[in-house]
Chain A
Amino acid sequence: MYKGVTPRIRKVLYALIIAFALLGVRLVFVQVGAGKSLSDIASSQHRLAVSILPKRGIIYDRNLKELAITINLNSVFAEPFRVKDKELASYKLAGVLGVSRDEIYKKLRQEKGFVWLGRKVSPDIARAVRALDIKGIEFIKEPQRVYPNGVLASHVMGFTDTDNNGLEGLELRFDKYLKGVMGYRYAIRDAKQREVPAYEYKEIQPTDGDSMVLTIDSMIQSIAERELENGFKKYRAKGACIIVMDPFTGDILALANRPSYDPNNVNTSPIDFRRNRAICDFFEPGSSFKIIAASGLLEEKVVKPSDRFFCENGEYKWYGHTYHDHTPHGWLAFRDVIKFSSNIGTMKAAQKLGPDRLYKYVKKFGFGEKTGIELPGEVNGITTHPGTWSKLSLCSISMGHEVTVTALQLACAMSALANGGNLVKPRIVDRIQDNSGHVIQEFESKKPQRVISEETAQEMRNILRGVVDSGTAELAEVKGYFPGGKTGTGQKVEPNGTYSHSKFTASFIGFVPYDNPKLVIAIIMDEPRPMYYGGVVCAPVFKKVTAELMSYYKIWPARLQTDNVSLSPSLKGKREAKKNN
């Protein structure tokens, strides 16, 4: 067979056999020995897992107007190894992205495969960057939370971070519902690292976030914020807040704070501006707290509205401490003690009630405990047990000192008087629903707790109507609507523990109309100046908000005061002409 084969050819043949044998051995090693690991490496090179971001849920107001939505914006990134002329690219990009050239150049010189140049840029900027047509500069879509109403209800909604995690307000509290669940798509990529859509082999769809419907009415919120802003600026207050509430259901229709911030540009405001003062700040309420002692006195039938108290002509010594009224009074009926906010009259009446019963009503009206509103950061306020009270405590607490409350607690207490004696739990979230509108969780109004009888509540409303009609809150009067309420001016405590004579917390908590209340409105101003009385600083804000809200609700004044109605210029001219004729 091999007769004709020369030794030289034979050698070549042997060499080939050995070579193929070696290749065979190598093949066995590759296939059997290292097969698994090599196969894994190959898979990781051509397989691709693309994350699919879920849509964050929408936040609606009670009329289903969008308060927070999510849009997709372009983020700009660079693959530095693909950018050839880095100096020229950084020069061009700096002008468009509004970042310094050095900063971009520094990023482009990094030995990385990926660097961010701008996250979630506006469509105009994205267009301009695209027009530069620089190789190695790419775009990726990222969801961005936006708030179409800007500062409106910013303390209620809060905001999210760059990765769409809730950081404040309802965005934080209900992050797990709003966020949704991320999905993935497993596909094949080609040699140029591009996804080959035809070879997609698995897709897990994302679950979009649930939407949330609030009890807030954006129109009421807008009116409340506008008037609060005006008052806040006029009296150069350190802070202010307003709450508009339905006294029967506990629905918060508006909740606003000043100073405020724009959730679309969070970093432009100091951190302190983000605090939800209505629930996170507690303060000594001063005279607006007298409604608690007064309710207790009437409920326990210790006093009648007509009972008379001597108010010591404005100065009264009690256990070595001298108490004053801001206006001296002699004999006053109990209803007038509240109407003129006499400290001396109130403390004399409170002594008839006694510490235990006063404390009972303080607790019954919900002070010293969180109201349970669905907002993060709510504080309890401070109420101490009568066992720890000094001889002065009964008098001080009855007039709103030695006790701290939140604006929301005061609004809830006033709601109890407005609705006939029931303490309601406030709520700001109505329901959470999925994208097809199916309700996932409903936040129904809880059964209210009766704290005083209907008769006492009615009596209190009559007394508080007097406060606005001819008492300390005449500036809150809205002709034809008969509001009621109570003013408060609390002295703040200095760092050395004494009461300040220059720093006050002004408040007015009112309801309207007084016979069948539709709304409760609480306004608090922290350190207003130069005026600091609740009846001067907060009552006018109440008046303006009430006047607009009554028209908004199409509740017309009982007795039309045509002389005080603002007329449009054309109608005004016609009326004046008619008068002259």
Chain B
Amino acid sequence: MDKTPNNYCSKVLAAIFAVTFVAVMYVNQQALIYQMGLKVKQNNDVYTKLVDHNKILVYNVLNLRSPVNLERKLLAKEVELSMPSKWQVVKLAKKGPLANLFVSGR
């Protein structure tokens, strides 16, 4: 085996290089994990925000559809509605050749 100082020195340098490389790779890996974690969190936050916004919109729809609020709005516009009597109801045939014809509620 060659035991000259030059050869010994190059081996030490190679070892240092290898250790440094492994260390840098490890740090890089940790940084990547950190970044990916942040990205996942950001995406989660966006998702949560959208879900929350959706819930608020659903609440608004329910609010608009609420019979109490509908009545209040109709009263404000002086539109009076009442339940229809039997003769005021028209049934529509769902299928068949008579589908487009009116059928009396009576």
A197 touching B37, Cβ below 8 Å: yes
A152 touching B68, Cβ below 8 Å: yes
Cβ of A551 under 8 Å from chain B: yes
Cβ of A552 under 8 Å from chain B: yes
Stretch at the interface among A84-92, A143-151, A300-308, A325-333: A143-151
B33 touching A198, Cβ below 8 Å: yes
Report Cα–Cα, A565/B87, bound state, in Å.
Answer: 10
Report Cα–Cα, A69/B40, bound state, in Å.
Answer: 28
Interface residue SS majority, chain B? helix
| Complex interface residues of chain B between 14 and 50 (CB less than 8 A to chain A) | 33-34, 36-38, 40-41, 48
| Complex interface residues of chain B between 39 and 87 (CB less than 8 A to chain A) | 40-41, 48, 52-53, 55-56, 58-59, 62-63, 65-69, 71, 82-87
Given contacts A197-B40, A560-B86, A566-B82, contact A225 B68 (CB under 8 A): yes
Cβ of B88 under 8 Å from chain A: yes
Inter-chain contacts of A18 with B (CB < 8 A) = none
Cβ of A568 under 8 Å from chain B: yes
Q: What 0/1 readout, one digit per residue, does chain A (71-90) give for beta carbons within 8 Å of chain B?
A: 11000000000000000000
Chain B CB within 10 A, most for which of A151, A196, A547, A571: A196
B68 touching A548, Cβ below 8 Å: no
Report Cα–Cα, A219/B68, bound state, in Å.
Answer: 9
Inter-chain contacts of B86 with A (CB < 8 A) = 556-557, 560
* A281 shortest CB reach to chain B, Å: 24
When C-beta atoms are compared, the residue in chain A nearest to B56 turns out to be: A71
Inter-chain contacts of A474 with B (CB < 8 A) = none
B36 touching A198, Cβ below 8 Å: yes
Inter-chain contacts of A547 with B (CB < 8 A) = 83
Cβ of A46 under 8 Å from chain B: no
Given contacts A66-B62, A225-B68, contact A71 B55 (CB under 8 A): yes
A123 touching B56, Cβ below 8 Å: yes
* B33 shortest CB reach to chain A, Å: 5
Report Cα–Cα, A556/B69, bound state, in Å.
Answer: 28
Given contacts A123-B56, A141-B52, contact A222 B63 (CB under 8 A): no
Inter-chain contacts of A226 with B (CB < 8 A) = 71
Give which listed residue, A69, A72, A556, contacts B58 with CB less than 8 A: A69
When C-beta atoms are compared, the residue in chain A nearest to B82 turns out to be: A566
B55 touching A551, Cβ below 8 Å: no
B87 touching A560, Cβ below 8 Å: yes
Report Cα–Cα, A66/B59, bound state, in Å.
Answer: 9
Inter-chain contacts of B56 with A (CB < 8 A) = 71, 123
Inter-chain contacts of B48 with A (CB < 8 A) = 72, 141
* A128 shortest CB reach to chain B, Å: 16
Given contacts A151-B68, A197-B37, A199-B37, contact A568 B62 (CB under 8 A): no
B62 touching A218, Cβ below 8 Å: no
Give which listed residue, B37, B58, B71, B85, contacts A560 with CB less than 8 A: B85
Give which listed residue, A66, A152, A198, A566, contacts B34 with CB less than 8 A: A198
Report Cα–Cα, A69/B86, bound state, in Å.
Answer: 36
When C-beta atoms are compared, the residue in chain B nearest to A221 turns out to be: B67
* A255 shortest CB reach to chain B, Å: 15
When C-beta atoms are compared, the residue in chain B nearest to A151 turns out to be: B68
A149 touching B66, Cβ below 8 Å: yes
Report Cα–Cα, A219/B97, bound state, in Å.
Answer: 35
Given contacts A141-B52, A199-B37, A568-B88, contact A71 B68 (CB under 8 A): no
Given contacts A198-B34, A547-B83, contact A69 B68 (CB under 8 A): no
When C-beta atoms are compared, the residue in chain B nearest to A152 turns out to be: B68
Q: What 0/1 readout, one digit per residue, does chain A (418-436) give for beta carbons within 8 Å of chain B?
A: 0000000000000000000
B83 touching A149, Cβ below 8 Å: no
* B47 shortest CB reach to chain A, Å: 13
A150 touching B66, Cβ below 8 Å: yes
| Complex interface residues of chain A between 451 and 508 (CB less than 8 A to chain B) | none
* A59 shortest CB reach to chain B, Å: 12
Cβ of A195 under 8 Å from chain B: yes
Inter-chain contacts of A571 with B (CB < 8 A) = 88
Inter-chain contacts of A152 with B (CB < 8 A) = 66-68
Report Cα–Cα, A580/B97, bound state, in Å.
Answer: 38
Give which listed residue, A72, A150, A198, A562, contacts B69 with CB less than 8 A: A150
* A575 shortest CB reach to chain B, Å: 11
Inter-chain contacts of A560 with B (CB < 8 A) = 85-87
Report Cα–Cα, A54/B26, bound state, in Å.
Answer: 38
Q: What 0/1 readout, one digit per residue, does chain A (507-540) give for beta carbons within 8 Å of chain B?
A: 0000000000000000000000000000000000
B55 touching A148, Cβ below 8 Å: no
* B13 shortest CB reach to chain A, Å: 30
Q: What 0/1 readout, one digit per residue, does chain A (351-374) give for beta carbons within 8 Å of chain B?
A: 000000000000000000000000
10 A-B pairs with C-beta separation under 8 A: A70-B55, A71-B56, A149-B67, A150-B68, A197-B37, A198-B33, A198-B37, A226-B71, A560-B86, A565-B85
Q: Nearest 3 CB-CB pairs, A to B?
A: A198-B37, A551-B83, A148-B62
Interface residues, chain B, with chain A CB atoms under 8 Å away: 33-34, 36-38, 40-41, 48, 52-53, 55-56, 58-59, 62-63, 65-69, 71, 82-88
Given A197-B38, A556-B86, A560-B87, 11 more pairs with CB closer than 8 A: A72-B55, A148-B62, A149-B62, A149-B66, A149-B68, A150-B68, A196-B34, A198-B37, A199-B37, A552-B83, A560-B85
